[in-house]
Structure 1
Amino acid sequence: MSKRMIITVGDARVGKSTVIKLLLEIFAQQGKRIKVYNQESFPVFQAYEHIATIKKFNLSNDDADAITDDLNHPELDVMIVDMPGQDIEKVIQYIESASLFEVVVKFGWNLTFLQPISHRKDCIYYLNAIIQNATNNANYVVVKNYHFAPEFREYEEKMRKKLLIIGGTEVELMALHRNHYQAMEKADKPYSQVCQDLSIILFWRSFIFQWIKKFHHSVMNNHLAIKYLGLD
């Protein structure tokens, strides 16, 4: 089984951390050995420390060197790098300075860019910039996050065809009511455990359970997503 490096990119507050959390539980179910590099200043993945090794990093200093060093780590199956939002130029600069495409190939890994999108035009800009920079050196998975809007007109009109032509794929993250999401985050538990948290009313837990289930279904019924995300 090939090793997979997943880099999340995109606008700030578009759901990158949420998608990572959902994926972490799928990886854990498959027994994957996972490491997550987190750019956030607060412990957004604290509840998942029993599932994955979590390490903070900063693109502006030598912390980022550890990312490429870990590509030579024999005890990892999946590495997730949660890049900062709203600074795609800095992300691309890091990729170039680290010679990431060459290093990934050298140590036998495959690279995937994972980008949740909303209805905002900035999402199209970020996705296009990554595709132009990486071309066929990586795979691409777009997550259509319906929390923000019921449609993705800018993406559908300007980027979807380009994504599919280069072999990319898309999955869906259904909308979840803001109250349900806030309760889930406040619980500070892995999302699947929130469904058994009796402090949250049953009606809300039912919606959360279905939300998780639909995301898992969207991923695991997409053969390209399974391949690009390093899932069995």
Structure 2
Amino acid sequence: MLIKRFVITVGDARVGKSTISRLLLELYLKNQLNVRVFYHGHRNKLSMYQTSCFDINQLGFSRGDSDRLLLDLEMFPKIEVVLTDMPGQNLPEFKFFDQDVSLVENLNCLGYRITFLHPISHRKDCVEEYLQDLYQYFGNQVDYVIIKNYYFGEQFCYYDGNQFQAALKKLNGLELVLDKLHNDFYQLLEDTGLPYAQAVKTDSPLNTLQRSIIFNWIENFHNSIVSNGIASNYLGLMTNRAELVTAGANAHTLSNLDLIEQTESEEW
């Protein structure tokens, strides 16, 4: 029985993959999950989470890398979730990697099922290149979570009504929304270089209004997962756990201020 999750962020460049990964790491920390974290490529965009809680390592595409990964997961059976942040340009290499080492099959043997976490923007390539390629190669071997990133607006004309949206729904693919965060606030958050939970604490460089808006943005996304049984399953939050931590149980005490001013979306 596959009770664990191997979550891989994938998709076009600059659609929010690393942002989604960081938000997930915060949720895993909040729920005290036993997690392994990796990144593909040469840039570790999750480096701010390199702490005693997470040991973040590079994952290459060789047989040696596969052997080390699978041995690690076999030696530590209490690992509940694996999260890998993968740049979009690595997808062809990743497919060859899967063919070479039978990655999906071997992970299944260890009790893991892959979930592809795929943010999309308004751009055509998100759907007609990356998502299409992903679906056509992996089919029903894996599960899919599509993140509509409202940073780019709320219209996804190349996805909504597309044949691949319908095909993914037949495979029980899931759609979630990441609310828009004002560009100025997002940049301020990035400039802190802090894990998101630390950035909203009172001793961070951000002021009260900024921290409150960012805090609510984080909690809204977390609650969209925790309140959805399929999302919790696909993203590894339902491994023998009776309940999940929600925003109401969070220790933060920031006031619930709403972001009133809306601006036009800008491309990352």
TM-score relative to the length of structure 1:
0.92
Question: Quick check: 1:119–1:152 contact (8 Å CA) kept in 2?
Answer: yes
Q: 1:88 aligned to 2:91?
A: yes
Q: Which runs of 5+ in 1 are unaligned?
A: none
Q: Which residue of 2 aligns with 1:5?
A: 6
How far apart are the structure 2 equivalents of 1:148 and 1:64? 36
1:99 to 88, 97, 102: 102
Query: Does residue 193 of structure 1 match 2:217?
Result: no
Offset from partner CA, 1:139-196 (integer Å, 9 cap, x none): 1111111112221111112132221111110111111122211111121221122112
Superposed displacement of residue 75, structure 1: 3.6
Q: Helix, strand or coil for the counterpart of 2:151? A: coil
Question: In the comparison of the two structures, how many residue pairs are matched?
Answer: 232
2:148 aligned counterpart, secondary structure: strand
Partner Cα distance (2:218, 2:50) in 1: 20
Percent identity over the alignment is: 38
**What residue number does 1:33 align with?**
34
TM-score between the two structures when normalised by the length of structure 2: 0.80
RMSD between aligned alpha carbons?
Answer: 1.9
Amino acid corresponding to residue 6 of structure 2 in structure 1: M
The answer to whether the Cα contact below 8 Å between 1:68 and 1:98 also exists between their aligned partners in 2 is no
Aligned to 2:58: 56
Structure 2 counterpart SS, 1:155: coil
Aligned counterparts of 1:59 and 1:198: Cα–Cα separation in 2: 38
Q: Which moves more between the two structures, 10-19 or 88-97? A: 88-97
Query: Does the CA contact (< 8 Å) of 2:12 and 2:126 recur in 1?
Result: yes
Q: Which residue number corresponds to residue 211 of structure 2?
A: 205
Q: Who wins on radius of gyration, i.e. which is larger?
A: 2
Structure 2 segments unaligned to the other structure (5+ residues): 239-268
The one-character-per-residue Cα deviations of 1:67-111 (angstroms, maximum 9, x if unpaired) are 333332324111112222134322211122120121012111121
| Structure-2 separation of matches of 1:68 and 1:95 | 13
Task: Indicate if the aligned counterparts of 1:112 and 1:139 stay in contact, CA closer than 8 A.
Answer: yes
Contact residue 198 and residue 204 of structure 2 kept, 8 A: no
Amino acid at match of 1:154: Y
- Cα distance in 2 for partners of 1:33, 1:198 equals 27
Deviation at 1:198, TM superposition (A): 4.3
Aligned 8 A contact 2:36 2:79 in 1: yes
Match of 1:135 among 134, 139, 145: 139
The 3 A distance-change label for structure 1 pair 40 and 207 is farther
